[in-house]
Amino acid sequence: MGKGVNSATMQAEQLKQDGNLYFKKNKLGAAIDAYTEAIALCPKIAIYWTNRAVCYRKRNDWRRVEEDCRKAIQLDHHSVKGHFMLGLALLQREKYAEGIKDLERSLDLARGENPYSYMVEEIWQELSKAKYQEWERDSTKRSWELQNLKECCEIALKEKHLCAITQYEGFTDEVTGSTSEQLKALNSVFSKAAEYDTPTEVPDYLCCKITLDIFRDPVIAPSGLTYERATILEHLNKVGNFDPVTRQTLYPCQLVQNLAIKEAVQAFLEKHGWAYKMD
C-alpha cells in the first residue's frame, strides 16, 4: 500500500513538472490536462489546484479560477496564490469587498514568506487597483446621489422664493436677496461634500525619496530618513553600504520598520478612499 501511495505521489509530481513545462511553452490545454491528472492522483495537494488556476487565469476563465482557488485554500489556508487569484476572480464579478479581503490576505502571507518577492509587488499593484476601482464605483454613485439631492434642494428654495414674493409683494428685493444667499450657502455645502470624492495628491512625507512613490513598507535609517524597504535594500546590495542621501555608513540590520509612517499612509488611503490612483 505504501509503495502504491509513493508511486502515485511520484507520478503526480512528474505530471506537475510536465504541466509547468507545457505552461512555459504556452500550451495551456496540455498544461491543464497534466495538472488535472495530477489532481486525480493526489487531490489533496493545493499547488496542483493553484497551478491549474494559473492556466485558467491566462484564459480568462474566471469561474474555474475561483473554483480551483477555493479548493486550494480549503487544503492550504496559507496559499498565497490561492488567495491572490481568488481575489482577482471575485473582482471580475465586481465583488470588491470580498476580492479585496482575499488580496489583503495574500499580501500578508506573501510578506511573511518573503517581503522582497515579486509576488508582493504584483499583489500590491492589484490591491491598489482594486481599491481604486471600488472607490471609483462608490464615488460615482455618491456623486450622482449628491447632485440629485442638490437639485431637489435648489428647486425647493426657488419654490419657496416664489411663494414668498407672492406673500410679501412689497419686499421683493429682500426676499430675492435672502434666497440668493441661501443658494450660495447650499452650493458651498455641496461643494464641500464633493471634496471627499475628488482625487488628491499624496503628501511628500508619505513618499519614498528614491522611488518618489507612496510608501508600502517604510523603514527608517539611523539618519532619520525613511525609505521603501525593497528599494533601500537593493541600493545597499548593488551600490554600497551607505545612506543614499546622507552618505553615512548603513547596513541592512540597522533598518527599522517605520510604523508611524506606515499608519499615516494607511490613514491617508482610507480617508481619501484610495482616490490616489497608483500606477
CATH (domain of 94) = 1.25.40.10
**Residue 11 and residue 82 share a domain:** yes
Q: Is residue 134 part of a domain?
A: no
Question: Best-predicted range by mean pLDDT among 50-64, 103-117, 152-166, 244-258?
Answer: 50-64
pLDDT, position 269: 76
**Residue 90 and residue 46 share a domain:** yes
**What is each CA distance from 99 to 3, 65, 106, 200, in whole angstroms?**
42, 13, 11, 25
Q: Is residue 91 part of a domain?
A: yes
Asked which of 153, 177, 197 is the last residue of a domain, the reply is 197
Q: Is residue 127 part of a domain?
A: no
Q: Is residue 17 part of a domain?
A: yes
pLDDT, position 279: 40
**CATH, residue 229:** 3.30.40.10
Helix axis angle, 28-41 relative to 46-58, nearest 10°? 160
**Residue 222 and residue 242 share a domain:** yes
| Phi then psi dihedrals of residue 107, to 5 deg | -65, -45
The Cα 39–Cα 43 span in angstroms is 4
pLDDT, position 193: 72
Give me the long-range contacts of 245-252 (CB less than 8 A, separation at least 24). 245/209, 248/221, 248/222, 248/223, 250/221, 250/222, 250/223
pLDDT, position 36: 98
**Residue 184 and residue 87 share a domain:** no
Q: With a cut of 90, say whether residue 6 has pLDDT above it.
A: no
Question: Who has greater pLDDT, 234 or 2?
Answer: 234
What's the domain count of the chain?
3
Quote the radius of gyration of the chain (alpha carbons, Å): 28
**Residue 76 and residue 49 share a domain:** yes
Question: Who has greater pLDDT, 274 or 64?
Answer: 64
**Residue 84 and residue 14 share a domain:** yes
Q: Report the Cα 9 to chain-centroid distance in Å.
A: 37
**Residue 212 and residue 193 share a domain:** no
Q: Is residue 251 part of a domain?
A: yes
Q: Is residue 160 part of a domain?
A: yes
Domain coverage including residue 152: 139-197
Asked which of 197, 213, 240 is the last residue of a domain, the reply is 197
pLDDT, position 142: 81
Question: Who has greater pLDDT, 141 or 97?
Answer: 97
Q: What would the mean pLDDT of 63-67 be, rounded to a whole number?
A: 98
Q: Is residue 241 part of a domain?
A: yes
Q: Is residue 109 part of a domain?
A: yes
C-alpha cell at 117: 518577492
Asked which of 197, 215, 230 is the last residue of a domain, the reply is 197
**9-13, 25-29, 114-118, 142-146: lowest mean pLDDT where?**
114-118
**Residue 153 and residue 90 share a domain:** no
**Residue 98 and residue 17 share a domain:** yes
**What is each CA distance from 80 to 14, 101, 123, in whole angstroms?**
23, 13, 10
**Residue 110 and residue 59 share a domain:** yes
The Cα 105–Cα 173 span in angstroms is 63
**Residue 188 and residue 100 share a domain:** no
The Cα 79–Cα 56 span in angstroms is 17
Edge-to-edge strand list for the sheet holding 256-257: 226-228, 218-220, 256-257
**Residue 179 and residue 144 share a domain:** yes
pLDDT, position 53: 98
The Cα 8–Cα 80 span in angstroms is 26
Taking only the tens place, the pLDDT of each residue in 167-197 is 656 556 665 677 788 888 888 887 777 766 6
